[in-house]
Amino acid sequence: MKFAAVIVAAGSGARAGAEAPKQWRSLAGRAVARWSLEALLAAGAQTVVVVIRPGDQALAEKAFSGLSGWTAVAGGAERIESVRAGLARLGGDFDAVLIHDAARPFVTAAHVGALLAALEAADGAVPAIAVADTLKRNGNDGAITAPRDGLFGAQTPQAFRRAALTAAYAAWPKGEVPTDDAAVVERAGGRVVLTAGDPMLMKLTYPEDFVMAERLAGAARITRTGFGYDAHRFGPGAAVWLCGVEIPHDKALVGHSDADAGLHALTDAILGAIGEGDIGDHFPPSDPQWRGVSSDRFLRHAAGLAAARGGRLVNVDVTLVCERPKIKPHREAMRARLAEILDLPLDRVSVKATTTEGMGFAGREEGLAAQAVATVEMPG
């Protein structure tokens, strides 16, 4: 079933206790809202509309950098206004719509699949967890125990047939505020069913929720390591490019691009960590458009692919193998350049050098080589 999604991210998040709205706060290195956007896109959403506060466009663009398939629209003071704005922006040919709170970052493709399956026989589907705690109502004469049999806590995303949801919102009485989107479809006579909820679909509301979410985020991710290697021969010239830095030399490196072996090896290391082939698959040397191009474009591309799949680059380590030029005088400049390209703190970037003590092509100064290792955290 083809589906689109609306992520509601227009709240102030004041109860979360930070200066920035909770949807833009960092959670394990990514904005809270980005977790949901990545998950819904990965689950197959045709398009995703993110409803934001007026003036939050720059925050959204920064949070979703490297991702495509989304658009933003300004929401309203009440959630119902924000959902209506999101639905109005949706275009395209699809059968179902998922409405999701940005403050629930741990949605997965499995959640989405269960909801879409439930829509085969219903107008709406809601993930819900049976109430486990004893319920109390605070009355004038003290606390009163309330029965919990048959009670469930509703979560998001909530899934609906597009036509049913659109018609239900059009018929909703002006001035009334629904508790959730399922209530809108129910009021219009639609059939809403429950699917199995998940404690991981917790909503981040209070400061202590973020402490728990950080722990869960770590458990929900895996660490991948990629290795890259590249070598180029020397030819006539007056400088070499290594790790994005031009170094005066009595020779130049020969290659289709700028022959920056350090950046090439690191690009392959990142591609290897995320299972995306090698640099030649993405930038074939037979393609004339890459002749002489600066290799930082290759590295940014690899880092962007990792980010688009929900990856977070943890650290990189490059070893240059050559007799000359001497690397140590330029090492800090190389580290700074790599940190800039990859948007990493300097202490997560390492550049080292070694020689082969006169052995092999590097020892004979016929060329040089580079090895690189990249560590990337990815969704589990």
pLDDT in tens, 72-129: 999 998 999 999 999 999 988 999 999 999 999 999 999 999 999 999 999 999 999 9
Asked if the bond preceding 325 is cis, omega within 30° of 0, the reply is: yes
So what's the pLDDT on residue 217?
78
Distance of CA 241 to the CA centre of its chain: 32
- Which domains are seen in the chain, by residue range? 3-219 (3.90.550.10), 221-379 (3.30.1330.50)
Name 360's Cβ contacts closer than 8 Å, sequence gap at least 6.
none
CA atoms within 13 A on the CB side of 142: 1
At residue 348, what are phi and psi to the nearest 5 degrees? -105, 10
So what's the pLDDT on residue 219?
63
Q: How far apart are CA 147 and CA 75, in angstroms?
A: 37
- Mean pLDDT along residues 233-255: 97
The answer on pLDDT for 371 being more than 50 is yes
Q: How far apart are CA 160 and CA 30, in angstroms?
A: 28
- Mean pLDDT along residues 328-348: 96
- Mean pLDDT along residues 38-55: 95
Q: How far apart are CA 299 and CA 21, in angstroms?
A: 32
Range from 272-281, 296-305, 307-316, 324-333 carrying the lowest mean pLDDT: 307-316
- Mean pLDDT along residues 237-250: 97
So what's the pLDDT on residue 17?
46
User: DSSP characters for 121-150?
Assistant: G-SEEEEEEE--SPEEEEETTEEEEE--TT
So what's the pLDDT on residue 18?
54
So what's the pLDDT on residue 129?
96
Q: In what order do the strands lie in the sheet with 367-379?
A: 252-253, 221-235, 367-379, 312-321, 349-354
Within 10 A of 228 (CB to CB), how many other CB atoms are there?
27
Per-residue confidence band for 144, with pLDDT thresholds at 50, 70 and 90: confident
- Mean pLDDT along residues 205-211: 90
